[in-house]
Amino acid sequence: MFKTITLLKAIQLARAVYTSVSIEEDSSRENVKITKKDAQRVLGKYLADKSPDYSLTWENEADSIIASFFPSDDGKSGILHIGR
């Protein structure tokens, strides 16, 4: 199981990376799979940030969650979701 990891490590461990997209203001959000390379590009300045001990989430300067890692049952990989 993961105690605390950097955001870069979470990207590397992820089986898949998703972000939510919404086209219209009141429309539902759709999850879209993106590449690990794109995730690293978008989250560039946060890649060295470590998750807190109690949660596999990362926040920006405004305390908004920018990424969440959901480990798989085997504890060796998981799914990363970026964005709010």
**Tens-place pLDDT, residues 38-84:** 999 999 999 999 998 888 999 999 999 999 999 988 878 999 999 86
Beta bridge partners of residue 47, listed in sequence order = none
First to last CA, the chain: 25
Burial class of residue 82, CB neighbours in 10 A (0-12, 13-18, 19+): buried
pLDDT band at 22 (very low <50, low <70, confident <90, very high): confident
pLDDT value at residue 23: 82
